């Protein structure tokens, strides 16, 4: 495990932000399937940490924006006809006063008045109130220890949003409606020039785009702001292990795109229990799914005596839809130098997860970050092999992409050969 340099960290976030954004803030972390991996962080724990880092970055943008809105909030005004006793507080409703002067007698006197009632219940204000509530909920889900910088920053933001929610006009607002509806209504009101400060509320819309990590709406500058916010606090080695694993998932998918495979589904949110993030179809008609950190169709041959099978969770599996065919296993290793430990782990997978036939072609790939691109092949019995591919994240991606493409091609050729000879793959 290694903590990459800051420039590599920015590249990893820049290229994985779309997949990390597939995690829905509204989803329940308990619904996620917990995969046991070498990393100290499980996938749910990683997402909690990622979410809090993002929430802290966005919470720091909110005070200036809310202050700008509070200086001139959108409002509606209506005339209200009421009665007051004794002292007149408002404008006397003269026609009503004259009409009831001789018939209504009370002490103290009841006087009809007209008041101008101001309300802040507009879609754009509700959207701002919802932003305060969203940040409040996010910074309270704090996985860090109290002495850590992230925890202190989260507590500071929590105090601010808690206080802000008690102030006018936010304390008077009840959010009625979904984020999507409020967002669309705010866009429409800005276009019709119906808000009190179009610029401030336009900035609120951009804030929401960054909060939701909606990269389709964000420009390059705003996306870079998100990345710098995520990098505001140093992440541990386990955190960057997970980021690199997600980067490898994207790298495999983009390689299949370049190979001419047709994407039939995906990306699906990373927290889904199935673990399937993409589905692809090859030019020759082979259908596969890309599974992220799940055992999937791998059936263990080794078992605890009287108990369950010996499990293993590869980072990525390219799984053919046809039953009985062995997947292509891919492990992402955030280490700058390959060691025999990772290779023997793959050989363990080969022994444990083969279906039992002697003619199976076990195929696996190890991906490492490195300063120099390289491609090594370890050959085994029955045309089995393990590819060790290193990627220079700041260099030319063509060599590792070509190496990965060749490995995938050889794996699919093995599937076709196994189908033709009726041998298990």
pLDDT per residue of the chain (425 residues) written in tens, 0 to 9: 578 888 999 999 999 998 888 764 444 433 344 444 445 678 888 888 999 999 999 999 999 999 999 999 998 876 666 777 666 666 776 777 777 776 766 667 777 776 767 789 899 999 999 999 999 999 999 999 989 999 999 999 999 999 999 998 999 898 888 889 999 999 999 999 999 999 999 999 999 999 998 888 888 889 999 999 999 998 889 999 999 999 999 999 999 999 999 999 988 877 666 688 999 999 989 999 999 988 766 778 888 888 888 878 889 999 998 877 788 999 999 987 777 888 888 888 888 876 555 467 789 999 999 888 899 999 988 888 999 999 999 999 999 999 999 999 999 988 876 666 544 44
Taking the CA atoms of 247, 251, 254 and 256 in sequence, report the sign of the dihedral they define.
negative
Residue 257 and residue 338 share a domain: yes
| Contact between residue 69 and residue 128 where contact means Cβ atoms under 8 Å apart | yes
In a domain? residue 2: no
Residue 80 and residue 65 share a domain: no
CA geometry: angle 196, 200, 202, nearest 5 deg? 105
Residue 150 and residue 59 share a domain: yes
In a domain? residue 31: no
pTM for this model (two decimals): 0.82
Residue 269 and residue 344 share a domain: yes
Number of domains the chain is built from: 3
Burial of 229 (0-12, 13-18, 19+ CB in 10 A): buried
Q: Tell me, what's the pLDDT at 216?
A: 83
Give the contacts of 71 (CB within 8 A, at least 6 positions apart): 197
Q: Tell me, what's the pLDDT at 420?
A: 60
The position carrying tokens 């045309």 is: 383
Residue 389 and residue 254 share a domain: yes
Q: Tell me, what's the pLDDT at 278?
A: 94
CA dihedral 202, 196, 61, 12 (to 10 degrees): -10
- Phi-psi bin for 177: left (phi > 0), alpha (psi -120 to 50), beta? left
- Asked which of 119, 146, 176 is the last residue of a domain, the reply is 119
The position carrying tokens 């229990």 is: 273
In a domain? residue 411: yes
Residue 106 and residue 130 share a domain: no
The position carrying tokens 């994985």 is: 16
In a domain? residue 265: yes
In a domain? residue 8: no
| Contact between residue 44 and residue 272 where contact means Cβ atoms under 8 Å apart | no
3-state percent breakdown (helix, strand, coil) of the chain, nearest 5 = 45, 15, 40
Residue 275 and residue 358 share a domain: yes
- The 3-state DSSP class for residue 405 equals helix
Q: Tell me, what's the pLDDT at 356?
A: 53
Residue 293 and residue 373 share a domain: yes
The position carrying tokens 């909606």 is: 214
Residue 293 and residue 254 share a domain: yes
Q: Give the ranges where 60-197 is alpha helix by DSSP (H).
A: 62-71, 94-100, 123-140, 149-164, 179-191
In a domain? residue 187: yes
In a domain? residue 18: no
Closest CA to 336 of 374, 387, 305: 374
Note down the domain range covering 225.
41-71+122-230
| Contact between residue 132 and residue 170 where contact means Cβ atoms under 8 Å apart | yes
Edge-to-edge order in the sheet of strand 91-92:
76-85, 110-119, 91-92
- Asked which of 166, 199, 230 is the last residue of a domain, the reply is 230
Q: Tell me, what's the pLDDT at 324?
A: 72
In a domain? residue 25: no
Residue 242 and residue 105 share a domain: no
The position carrying tokens 């006793």 is: 85
Residue 162 and residue 81 share a domain: no
The position carrying tokens 């964000």 is: 218
CA geometry: angle 375, 377, 379, nearest 5 deg? 175
């Amino acid at each position: 495990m290694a903590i990459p340099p800051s420039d590599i960290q920015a590249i990893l976030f820049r290229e994985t932000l779309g997949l990390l954004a597939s995690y829905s803030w509204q989803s329940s972390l308990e619904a996620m399937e917990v995969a046991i991996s070498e990393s100290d962080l499980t996938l749910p724990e990683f997402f909690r940490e990622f979410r809090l880092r993002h929430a802290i970055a966005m919470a720091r943008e909110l005070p200036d924006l809310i202050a700008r809105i509070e200086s001139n909030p959108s409002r509606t005004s209506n005339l209200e006809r009421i009665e007051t006793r004794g002292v007149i507080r408002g404008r006397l409703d003269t026609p009503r006063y004259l009409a009831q002067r001789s018939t209504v007698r009370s002490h103290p006197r009841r006087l009809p008045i007209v008041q101008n009632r101001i309300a802040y219940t507009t879609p754009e204000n509700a959207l701002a109130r919802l932003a305060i509530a969203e940040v409040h909920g996010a910074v309270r889900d704090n996985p860090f220890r109290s002495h850590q910088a992230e925890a202190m920053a989260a507590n500071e933001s929590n105090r601010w949003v808690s206080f802000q929610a008690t102030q006018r006009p936010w304390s008077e607002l009840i959010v009625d409606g979904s984020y999507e509806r409020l967002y669309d209504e705010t866009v429409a009101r800005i276009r019709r020039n119906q808000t009190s400060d179009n610029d401030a509320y336009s900035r609120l819309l951009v804030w929401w785009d960054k909060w939701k990590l909606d990269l389709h709406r964000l420009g390059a500058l705003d996306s870079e702001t998100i990345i710098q916010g995520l990098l505001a606090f140093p992440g541990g080695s386990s955190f960057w292990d997970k980021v690199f694993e997600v980067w490898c998932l994207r790298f495999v998918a983009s390689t299949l795109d370049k190979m001419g495979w047709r994407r039939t589904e995906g990306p699906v949110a990373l927290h889904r229990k199935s673990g399937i993030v993409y589905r692809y179809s090859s030019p020759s008609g082979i259908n596969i799914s890309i599974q992220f950190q799940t055992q999937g169709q791998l059936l263990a041959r080794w078992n605890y005596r009287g108990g369950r099978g010996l499990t293993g969770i590869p980072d990525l599996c390219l799984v053919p839809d046809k039953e009985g065919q062995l997947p292509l296993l891919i492990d992402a290793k955030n280490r700058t130098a390959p060691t025999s430990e990772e290779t023997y782990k793959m050989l363990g997978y080969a022994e444990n997860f083969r279906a039992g036939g002697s003619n199976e072609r076990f195929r696996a790939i190890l991906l490492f970050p490195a300063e120099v691109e390289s491609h090594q092949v370890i050959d085994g019995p029955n045309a089995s092999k393990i590819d060790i591919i290193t990627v220079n994240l700041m260099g030319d991606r063509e060599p590792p992409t070509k190496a990965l493409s060749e490995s995938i091609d050889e794996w699919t050729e093995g599937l076709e050969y196994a189908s033709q000879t009726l041998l298990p793959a």
